[in-house]
Structure 1
């Protein structure tokens, strides 16, 4: 699952990395505590032209009459994304990438305490999280695709976001034909950094600042 993430790389760096034309309404960073319903930067490809676009994190199916008309959908499970009515058209025609500098996941401590951990890429570059998007009214909305947790994550949580390797971006974005379903898998060993504990301050959606990703002292 992915319930919070960060973006500390500037939009100009994201545009260069993804070879994308940036929009004029992109949320400005850095943001060390991106929460559901926040605006996020998303990469789409239209006829081979990649664009950075602003979207609401929280996928709204076409039948919702209001944004709060049903459950808040921030993730799409890889095993059901092709069959669930909310996602099956989007995963065929509206796949996207959600850039992230890192993401948080929680383990359970004593008496049900939520203990946050922070993950980044081992090479320090922004992550390319697999996403699907949907236009709802005048608003574009997005969900991050999740899959069964792999080594390094499974001891903390049973699911993780799908992190796309650079060579797979064209296939996921629909630029390289069909067959993107094979990409919806856990990260290979060594792709993600060894996670480290961070302070419980990030448990609040009001928390902000670089201190949120500071490792706890041993």
Structure 2
């Protein structure tokens, strides 16, 4: 599953894109510090736009921890959508790419790193990943929602996170719109992928 993603877009561009979609963005904690990062990993702080209870067409841009502690202490960084009604505490996780890791087709005895693949969204500089947020012993935190993999991701993993196109962002923040009307797989060719290298052994243990 996805335990690493990328965001290299500046806050000004992010806010401008939300304004173009008529989604009002508040920053209740001030302008978040969002440095460009090739790798955002679980327990890192990262920007999300979270839903506002009782409000439509509005979100709050805040920095929050990716993953909350589970019952056995393991981080809950991905969350299955199947069998769950998701109508509140929705989050848009800002990204311009996400990674999957696979075993190399030819073993590299002196290199225990996995092959690393970067997925982006066709025709968009950046996008949002569907998530939820909640209070936890570690403070407010978010997790990425998952479903069975679509055609672009299935050659690399049987599950995937859920990237949302721009026209879906407002619906995900709107509690009156059922989740099943928003969450889905994108058509084949929507998520271009390139291969990168350098997944450390610690990442391999998380797959």
Q: Identify, as 1 or 2, the structure richer in helix.
A: 1
1:70 matched residue in structure 2: 73
State the aligned residue count. Answer: 189
- Asked if 1:45 corresponds to 2:51, the answer is yes
2:183 counterpart of 1:184: yes
- In 2, Cα distance between equivalents of 1:76 and 1:135: 15
CA distance in 2, matches of 1:72, 1:137: 12
Structure number with higher strand proportion? 2
Deviations 1:122-147 (A, max 9, x none): 11321210000002358210000111
**Residues 1-218 of structure 1 correspond to what in structure 2 (within 5 A)?**
1-19=1-19, 20-22=25-27, 23-24=29-30, 26-46=32-52, 47-48=55-56, 49-60=58-69, 70-80=73-83, 82=84, 91-109=86-104, 110-111=106-107, 114-136=114-136, 139-174=139-174, 177-193=176-192, 195-200=193-198, 202-203=199-200
Cα RMSD (Å): 2.4
What are the superposed Cα offsets for residues 89-146 of structure 1, whole Å, 9 maximum, x if unpaired? xx32101100101011112224485210111111132121000000235821000011
Q: Is the 8 A contact 2:144 2:161 kept in 1?
A: yes
Could you say what secondary structure the match of 1:70 adopts? Answer: coil
Cα distance change, pair 170–28 in 1 and its aligned pair in 2 (3 A) = closer
Q: How many angstroms apart in 1 are the aligned matches of 2:172 and 2:124?
A: 22
The alignment's TM-score, normalised by the length of structure 2, stands at 0.81
Please report the TM-score for the alignment, with normalisation by the length of structure 1.
0.77
Distance 1:59 1:163 in 2: 21
Q: 1:196, 1:165 → 2: CA distance?
A: 20
Return the alpha-carbon distance in structure 2 between the equivalents of residues 24 and 178 of structure 1.
29
Distance 2:164 2:141 in 1: 20
Aligned in 2, Cα 1:127/1:204: closer, same or farther, shift over 3 Å? Answer: farther
Give, in whole Å, the separation in 2 of the partners of 1:191 and 1:127.
12
Whole-Å separation in 2 of the counterparts to 1:92 and 1:45: 10
